[in-house]
Amino acid sequence: MLGIIGGLIVLSCAACGILFALGAGPLVNIVGSIAGPAYTVNQYYNAVEKQDYTTAFSYISTNSTVLNGQISTQDLYTSAAQAVDAAKGKVTSFSIGNISLTNNNNTAIVTVTVTRSSTPAYVVHLQLQQVNGSWKIVSLDNI
């Protein structure tokens, strides 16, 4: 009897592992959906921290305007980012906070706490959307 129960447990674990690997199940969908925006925001702020604005801009959707609806080109974004660096100091650290998924998990709202060298930490709100299979920033209220 114990052998049968043990065998069923092993088969159940194997089935769960296969389903997880294939991307089935609600947990995988939630974790996978959150992982995309988190990765994009992390890569974006790593570039901002290095003052690599070309790379940072690559995480922003070219089909939208960002930073309170004003910035839509690489040059304007770079100028705005450099102005924020001059006024508040270079980004020294950041931490991703809440990630909320909406619109059938195709849109995400992410909060990030940003620390700069010359000012206290502040919170940035980013909106991301899946664009051609990858997550892109479509709106942010600060850099």
pLDDT-based confidence at residue 28 (cuts at 50, 70, 90): very low
**What structural domains and CATH numbers belong to the chain?**
2-140 (3.10.450.50)
For all residues of the chain together, what is the average pLDDT? 83
Question: In Å, what is the CA distance from 122 to each residue of 24, 102, 117?
Answer: 38, 24, 12
Amino acid at 80: A
pLDDT greater than 90 at residue 72: no
Q: Residue 21: CB partners within 8 Å, gap ≥ 6?
A: none
pLDDT digits (tens, 9 = 90+) for 32-51: 578 999 999 999 999 999 99
Question: What are 105-139's pLDDT values in tens digits?
Answer: 899 999 999 999 999 999 999 999 998 889 999 98
Q: Do 130 and 106 touch, CB atoms closer than 8 A?
A: yes
| More confidently predicted of 16 and 119 | 119
Q: What percent of the chain is modeled with pLDDT above 90?
A: 56
